[in-house]
Structures are given as C-alpha cells and as structure tokens.
Amino acid sequence: MSRISVRGFAVASATAVTTVGAVVGVASGSTAQPSTNEAEATASDATLLADIPAGQQAQVQTASLTQQAETQAIAADNAAQKSAEEAARKKAAEDAVAKQKAAADAKEKAEKEAKERAEAKKVASRSATRDASSFATQASYSASQIQAMARQMVPAGQFQCFSNIVDHESSWNYRATNASSGAYGLFQALPASKYSTAGADWQTNPATQIKWGLNYMDSRYGSPCEAWTFWQANHWY
C-alpha cells in the first residue's frame, strides 16, 4: 500500500476531513481514534493528507477540486451580477440625462419658433401700404373715411380684428370722449396724451390715432388679432 502527500488540495467539508482521518488510521494499522491534538492539527492544516490508500486518493482529490470549482463559479457569478447591475445603473443615468437634454432642446426650439412667429406677425402688421403722414389733413372725418384710412394702414389679415376693437371702443368716432375717465379717441386711450407718441395732431387726425393704435396692439399683444382675443376674454385691452 503506497503513501502520498497531497498538500495543495483543500478538503471540501468537515465530513471529508473526518473520512480522511479514518482512512489514515486504517492505513497505519491502528484501531485507536485520533487524539484531540491530532484532529485539531488536521482541521488547521487541511492541505496535508497522508497515508491515504491508493484507491482513495482520486476521491479526495476530486472532492477538493470540485469544491474549489464551485467556489470559483459562485465568485464569478457574483462578480458578473455586480457588473451587470453597475452597467444597468450607468445606462439608466445616461438615459435620464439624454431625456433631459432632449426636453430642453425641444423647449428651446418651441420658444424660438414662437418668437419667430410673433416677430413675423409684428413685421406683417407694420408693413402697411400707407403711413399716417401720407393722408391729407381734413377739418373732419366720417366713420367711413376713417375706416378707409385704416384699411390702407392695417394689414389685410389683421383688419377685421382691428375693426372689432374700434367698433367696441368708439364706434369709429375719433373724437369720442369718456366723460368720467377722460379716455379719448378711436381706441379710448387713457390718458389721452398717449396718442402724442404717434404725432402732435392726435386730437384731430384719425390717421395719427390709427398709427398709435396699431403700434400699441403690435407691441403689447403681437398683433391686432391677438389683442382682439384678449379683448373678448376681458372686455378691455
């Protein structure tokens, strides 16, 4: 019966260690149980196995290698799971950043387009065929004459909205005066002196008032039609 030292192989379990101890006892011809010191030495140094019958050597080695393989496989699985979780967290963070950027870009684009549309409306509103100064001064003006002036000063697509506001404010009376507030003219400007920014003849020239009213609607609301929308909701503008 041969003897072999198998240092380097770990015993898979306490049962395996006990079994090996029993085998060693049989191989040495002794029937006595191992002492406590011998058992502790065997447990503390699981890599030294001696006096193992040749028929048992392969079993001990296989058990040790199997245990090592299982331990390594578990460690590999844990590492792979940790790596996958970390990759998932990183991907989620990247997706969140990408979504935030896309939302910010979309908002910026929408605001830019809205600004461009508003500017285009202002330009269209200002591109009247005639200016207030191009009309000859008269001693007085009828409502139809004032409307004819407005049609030549206000862009065609905005005229109806413009007309709706004047209808409600003054019925096209350029001298209309509110006795209680002092609001004056086609647009019932308050104070009336606001018209002076369009011309010094604002009290007697409806064309000057039309110029002021159009500029007011464009600058405050973007266009006469937007001003009319506000007027409908609030009954003032």
- Domain boundary assignment for the chain: 128-234
pLDDT for 133 equals 84
From 237, 229, 236, 187, select the one nearest 212 (Cα to Cα): 187
pLDDT in tens, the chain (237 residues): 434 344 444 444 444 444 444 444 444 454 445 455 555 544 444 444 555 666 676 777 788 888 888 899 898 889 999 989 989 998 999 998 988 898 888 898 888 888 877 776 655 555 545 788 889 999 999 999 999 999 999 999 999 999 999 999 999 999 999 999 999 999 999 999 999 999 999 999 999 999 999 999 999 999 999 999 999 999 999
Phi first, then psi: what are they for 108, rounded to 5°? -60, -40
Give CA angle at 158 (226, 168), nearest 5°.
70
57: its two tokens? 């050597």
Q: Tell me the CATH architecture of domain 128-234.
A: Orthogonal Bundle (1.10)
Q: Distance between CA atoms of 86 and 94, rounded to whole angstroms?
A: 12
pLDDT for 9 equals 44
pLDDT for 142 equals 97
pLDDT digits (tens, 9 = 90+) for 68-84: 888 998 988 899 999 89
Q: Do residues 224 and 168 lie in contact, with contact meaning Cβ atoms separated by under 8 Å?
A: no
Instruction: Please state, in angstroms and as integers, the Cα–Cα distance from residue 41 to each residue in 15, 22, 45, 48, following that order.
Output: 15, 15, 6, 10
From 5, 8, 10, select the one nearest 64 (Cα to Cα): 10
Task: Find all residues with CB under 8 Å of 45, minimum gap 6, and list them.
Answer: none
pLDDT for 129 equals 55
